[in-house]
Amino acid sequence: MILAELYLDENNLLRYCRVEGHAKAGVKGNDVVCAAVSVLTKTIVLILSGREEISIRGSIPERGNFLMEVDYKPEGRDFLAGAGGFLLEGLLSVEKEFPSYCKVTIERRKFNGT
């Protein structure tokens, strides 16, 4: 099962995302659930990494593991709201369609610097 944890700050902006595991909804290389989650996480990194007002740190220590932390300047709030919403809605959609293979948790917390 894929477990996705997202943490939002007090402004409901994405600040942290961790995705672990394998869906095992199909044979390796043909798993639609893993493919969907991979596309979502790769896309969020690509769109956020090109923004000067948003900084990301993260790692992919091994296949099936993804970690991303996000900081932003005030002028990056609107862009981060849209990008974070894209990731959140995408992951929730995968969970809704494939609940036996993907679980998403969302927490709100206070982060330093916001």
Q: What percent of the chain is modeled with pLDDT above 90? A: 83
Nearest to 2 by CA among 88, 87, 95, 93: 95
Stretch among 4-13, 33-42, 49-58, 60-69 having the lowest mean pLDDT: 60-69
pLDDT of residue 114: 52
Separation between Cα atoms, residue 97 and residue 76, nearest integer Å: 31
Average pLDDT over residues 46-63: 91
Q: What is the pLDDT of residues 7-44, one digit of tens each?
A: 999 999 999 999 999 999 888 888 999 999 999 999 99
Nearest to 56 by CA among 110, 90, 43: 43
DSSP percent split of the chain into helix, strand, coil, nearest 5: 35, 30, 30
Kindly report the pTM of this predicted structure: 0.92
Domains annotated on the chain, with CATH: 2-108 (3.30.70.1490)
Separation between Cα atoms, residue 59 and residue 41, nearest integer Å: 12
Q: What is the pLDDT of residues 81-93, one digit of tens each?
A: 999 999 999 999 9
pLDDT of residue 28: 82
